[in-house]
Amino acid sequence: MFQFVEQHVLKHSNINSRVVKMQLGIKMRSNLLLSTCLILLMTFATSTASLATLSAAGTSSLRTLASESPIDTSSEYSNGSIPMTLYGSIWYTWINTTDTQIISYALFSDQVNSPIINLLGQHFQLQDGTEVFVGNTLALIEVYNDTSGDGIPQANFTSGISEIEYYLLVNSSISYEISPIQKIMEDEIAHYRWGFRYEGIDGFLFYSEEQWNVAATVMIDHLGFSYDFYVVNNVATIKPSFDIGNVTAEFVGEETASLDQLSLSLLFDTAVFSPEQCTTHVNGQAYNSTTTTDSAIPIDNSQIAVNTIKAYEFLFGENYNLTRGENIETYQAKNEAAATTSVPEGAMSHLDLVLNCFEENLNITDLFGMEGQINLDCNFSTLLYRICYPTWDGLQIQHDPTYVAYLFSDEMIPEFAIAWIPSLLVLASLLSIFAAKVGKWRKPVLSKR
Ligand SMILES: [Ca+2]
C-alpha cells in the first residue's frame, strides 16, 4: 500500500530553461484499488450528508473553488495551481489575446497518485457574436491489435467485438516537470508555449472487455504534453505535441505476452458549448458519436459547426516519430471518429469520476462570461476521436496534431455549401416554372399589345 518512505519535496527553478521541477519521494507500489477507493470515497463523501466525518478542508473545496477561480482572467497569460482534494491539484495555463481565450488543465499531485489527464479548452466568437467553447480532453490511452489492417481500432463493447485489447490506467508518477507559459515573438507573430511532463510512471493495462481485470503492470518512461498557440488573420492555431516514452509491460500470468506488434491510441473527448446549435462533421457528413452505428470511421479532419458556420477544425494525418534504439522511424498517424460504444465500459466509470473534477473547476461564467455548464461526460460527447499509432511496439512516440479555431468566422462549412447547390437548383427550377406560368398568364395581355 502507500509507503511514504521519505516524503520530501525538492523544488527548484532552472532560470535558463524556465522549468520548474518537483521531485517526489512518494513510492506507491500499491495496486490501483487504493486509488479507486479514494476516488469512490470522495465521490461518496461529496454526495452524502455525512461530510462531517471527513476533513472539512477536503470536502468543501470542490464546489467552492468552482465559483472562486484563482485565475486572473484579465491577464494576457498566466499559470498556477488550483488546489483540490484527494486528487491533488490542477495546473492551469491561461491565455487571453486577440479576442480568444485558452484554458489548459493538467492534473497533478504532490501527495497522492493523480490520474494522467489533461484538458485544452478555447473560447471565441463567430462574426455574428455567437460565443463558442470547444474543449478537448485526453481521456484514455489504449492498446489495440489491428487485425483488420486498416490502422485504426474497431471496437464495440456492447456486442463484445473489439480490437482494443487493453486500456491504461496510471497509478502514480515519480515526478513532474512544468514548462511555464512563455510568449515568444517569431516573424512578428506572438507564440504562446507551455507544457507539462510526467516522469517515471507506473500503471496497469486492464483487459478492455472485462471490469477491473489487470492484464499487466507497466512502466512508462515519461508522458509529455506541450502546446504552441498563435493567431494569424483570425485563424487561431494550437499545435499540441505528444511525447509518449517507452512502455515496458509485465503481463500477469502470461509470460509470452508482450507489446510487440501492438498499436497505441489516444482517446479524446470533445465538449462543445454554445447558445446556438452545434454540429460535428466528419468526412463531409454530420456525425454524432452517441448515435453512430459505425464503431470507427477513418478521418483526416473533423469540423465543428455552429448553425452552418465553420467554427473549429481538427487537422489530422500528420506523421509521427517512433524511436527504435538509435533510429527514428516515421509513420503516418491514423485517426478515427469513435462511437460511444467503442469506449471500454470499465474505463468509462473511472473516467466519469475523474472528468468530474475538471468540470467542477471549469466555470465558464467566471472564465468567459458564458452562461451554462460544461459537460465532459464521454457518454454525451458528440465527437469522440482517437489519434492512432499503428506501429508502436511499446516504443517512444512523438506527434504534433493541429487544432484550429476560426475567430469571427462567417464561412459556411462545405457540407452546407454543397447542400445549398441542389436547393438553388430547385429554386431556379421553381422560378423558371413560375416565370413560364406568369408568361402564360400575361400572354393574352402581351398579344393585345
Ligand atoms: Ca482495425
Q: How confident is the model at residue 354, as a pLDDT? A: 78
- Residue 377, classified by CB atoms within 10 Å of its CB into exposed (0-12), middle (13-18) or buried (19+), is middle
Q: Tell me, in angstroms, the distance from the centre of ligand 1 to residue 295's CA.
A: 10
In this structure, the number of other CB atoms found within 10 A of the CB of residue 287 comes to 21
Judge whether 264 and 226 are in contact, CB under 8 Å.
Answer: no
Judge whether 220 and 244 are in contact, CB under 8 Å.
Answer: yes
Angle at 28 between CA 250 and CA 30, to 5 degrees: 60
Q: Tell me, in angstroms, the distance from the centre of ligand 1 to residue 236's CA.
A: 33
Q: Tell me, in angstroms, the distance from the centre of ligand 1 to residue 154's CA.
A: 5
- Rounded CA-CA distance 154/388 in Å is 12
Judge whether 359 and 376 are in contact, CB under 8 Å.
Answer: yes
Q: Tell me, in angstroms, the distance from the centre of ligand 1 to residue 341's CA.
A: 16
Q: Tell me, in angstroms, the distance from the centre of ligand 1 to residue 129's CA.
A: 42
Per-residue pLDDT of the chain (449 residues; tens, 9 = 90+): 222 222 222 222 232 333 333 333 333 334 344 444 333 333 333 332 222 222 222 222 333 333 456 899 999 999 999 987 666 789 999 999 999 999 999 988 877 666 678 899 999 999 999 999 999 999 999 999 999 999 999 999 888 789 999 999 887 778 889 999 999 999 999 999 999 999 989 899 999 988 789 999 999 999 999 999 999 999 999 999 999 999 999 999 877 899 999 999 999 999 999 999 999 999 889 999 999 999 999 998 899 999 999 999 999 878 999 999 999 999 999 999 999 999 998 888 778 877 888 898 999 999 999 999 999 999 999 999 999 999 999 999 999 999 999 999 999 877 655 544 444 444 455 555 545 554 444 444 333 33
Strands (E), 235-307: 235-244, 247-251, 263-273, 278-282, 285-287, 296-298, 301-306
Q: Tell me, in angstroms, the distance from the centre of ligand 1 to residue 117's CA.
A: 25
In this structure, the number of other CB atoms found within 10 A of the CB of residue 90 comes to 25
Q: Tell me, in angstroms, the distance from the centre of ligand 1 to residue 222's CA.
A: 27
Residue 135's beta-bridge partner residues?
A: 121, 271
Q: Tell me, in angstroms, the distance from the centre of ligand 1 to residue 128's CA.
A: 42
Judge whether 199 and 175 are in contact, CB under 8 Å.
Answer: yes
Q: Tell me, in angstroms, the distance from the centre of ligand 1 to residue 393's CA.
A: 16
Q: Tell me, in angstroms, the distance from the centre of ligand 1 to residue 161's CA.
A: 11
Q: Tell me, in angstroms, the distance from the centre of ligand 1 to residue 332's CA.
A: 15
What are the boundaries of each domain within the chain? 2-412
Q: Tell me, in angstroms, the distance from the centre of ligand 1 to residue 413's CA.
A: 29
Q: Tell me, in angstroms, the distance from the centre of ligand 1 to residue 263's CA.
A: 10
Which set of grid coordinates corresponds to residue 20?
520548474
For 221, how many CA atoms within 13 A lie in the half-sphere containing its CB? 11
Among residues 149, 202, 220, the alpha carbon closest in space to that of 394 is found at 220
Q: Tell me, in angstroms, the distance from the centre of ligand 1 to residue 144's CA.
A: 8
3-state secondary structure of 111: coil
3-state secondary structure of 288: coil
Q: Tell me, in angstroms, the distance from the centre of ligand 1 to residue 390's CA.
A: 9
Q: Tell me, in angstroms, the distance from the centre of ligand 1 to residue 226's CA.
A: 29
Q: Tell me, in angstroms, the distance from the centre of ligand 1 to residue 98's CA.
A: 42
Q: Tell me, in angstroms, the distance from the centre of ligand 1 to residue 163's CA.
A: 7
Tell me the helix, strand and coil percentages in the chain, rounded to 5. 20, 45, 30
Which residues have beta carbons under 5 A from ligand 1 (an ion)? 146, 148, 150, 154, 163
For 119, how many CA atoms within 13 A lie in the half-sphere containing its CB? 31
Q: Tell me, in angstroms, the distance from the centre of ligand 1 to residue 157's CA.
A: 15
